[in-house]
Amino acid sequence: MNSKTSATRRAFLAASAATAAHIWVPRPVKGYCVAEVLAPVKPMATGISKWDLDTPALCVDLDKLEQNIAKMQRSLAANKLGSRPHAKTHKCAAIAKLQMAAGALGICTAKLSEAEALAAEGLDRICMTTGNLSVSKIRRAMQLRKRTPQFIQAVDYEPNAHDMDAAAKEAGIVADVVIDMAVGTRSGIPPGDDAMALAKLVDRLPNLKLRGVLSYDGGAQHITGFAERKARALANIEGNVKTFEAMKRAGLNTEIFSGGGTGTYNIQHLVPGFTDVQVGSYLFMDMQYLAIGGADGNPVYSDFAPSLTVLATIVNHRFPGRLTTDAGAKAFTLNVPRPGVIGEPGMDYNPGSDEFGTITFKESRKTYKMGDRLEMIVPHCDPVVNLYDYVYGIRKDRVEAVWPITARGHSQ
């Protein structure tokens, strides 16, 4: 310390001593380390009754889940289609592994971070169905492809194909690519000349390998009434089929023609050249899908059983015709359509407030009191799953498994 600083410091200490009586010095407090802040709430143990779970709790009925997986696999195989289930629905490595074990060709992801998280758990056949536009994500995707050789990346934009080619070169790989061809207007390159030009570009670029085409019709999945859904789904995809056939005639690789979902899984085989279906919600089902009606004319879509539920606790029973639960918007995300209260068809469950669900009813099958539990089918499965760290696997009312939602919150 030189004399100047030391003099300054002496002056500071002197001034401090003079005012010390007025300075409040906080006592040391224990802070949280990053791991503590990020630590999820610990799950409850297996073996207990589901009715003893702390709530809100996300549950999946394992018998129903297994039946749904088996039924989808059987049905697609009978129609000579493969399955490439979309993991955006469950974000859960354990469930993706069940789908793979049942014979899926691979899984899909919507987001890169979702793909990274599932790949880290050993899922190696991943098709990312959306493009990456930032330099950083394109590089990450190519690094993921390097670690996971069966990773396939969608592209729907020519400059993006050039960027991917450069990133693949930098990573020292030739990356597998599918063209995301729009059905409707949400995402993807329109079928026709634009899609053909992009396919030819990908085919030409030295560090990319064209594998085929994606064509998911988000607008058709929830059309009410099977006949209408079928007619519109088949009409919507006509342009894609023409472009796909033109790609084939041009000698481009068309080994993948993938799309479709839970609402059209039993329609997609009528699309010429279609190879596999990217079903997601069929695993769990939800109030949205139950309302679309089935091919059997039943207004309830009953091809797959609603396996996913949220358990809630009644926290107020004091007002006639009303109950309050501990599961609101942070447990269900949407309040339209309403969660379906199992066993109480006369109840209207509004999860519109942040922390509370409000139930109104004229009649109920039971008289409820505080602390009682209710079980609800969720409005729309994908965003609900993303709210929970774990899903409890239930068999015959017992907790048999606790599965982390591996890619929970991985929305980048």
Site residues, ligand PLP (CB under 6 A): 86, 88-89, 108, 129, 216, 218, 221, 261-263, 278-282
Nearest approach, Cβ of residue 363 and ligand PLP (Å): 34
**CB nearer to ligand PLP: pick between 116 and 286:** 286
Nearest approach, Cβ of residue 255 and ligand PLP (Å): 18
**CB nearer to ligand PLP: pick between 128 and 314:** 128
Helix (H, G, I), strand (E, B), or coil: what is residue 153? strand
**CB nearer to ligand PLP: pick between 107 and 138:** 107
- Nearest of 407, 411, 394 to residue 87 by alpha carbon: 407
Q: How far is residue 159 CA from its own chain's centroid?
A: 28
- Nearest of 182, 202, 64, 110 to residue 411 by alpha carbon: 110
CA atoms within 13 A on the CB side of 283: 27
Which DSSP helix (H) or strand (E) runs through 166?
helix 158-171
- Distance between CA 71 and CA 65 in Å, rounded? 10
Nearest approach, Cβ of residue 357 and ligand PLP (Å): 24
**CB nearer to ligand PLP: pick between 176 and 286:** 286
- Distance between CA 86 and CA 108 in Å, rounded? 4
Nearest approach, Cβ of residue 364 and ligand PLP (Å): 32
Q: How far is residue 261 CA from its own chain's centroid?
A: 13
**CB nearer to ligand PLP: pick between 130 and 324:** 130
140: which residues sit within 8 A by CB, 6+ positions away? 112, 116, 132
**CB nearer to ligand PLP: pick between 192 and 218:** 218
Cis omega before residue 191 (within 30°)? no
Q: How far is CA 50 from CA 46, 344, 379, in A?
A: 9, 19, 21
Nearest approach, Cβ of residue 327 and ligand PLP (Å): 23
Nearest approach, Cβ of residue 375 and ligand PLP (Å): 22
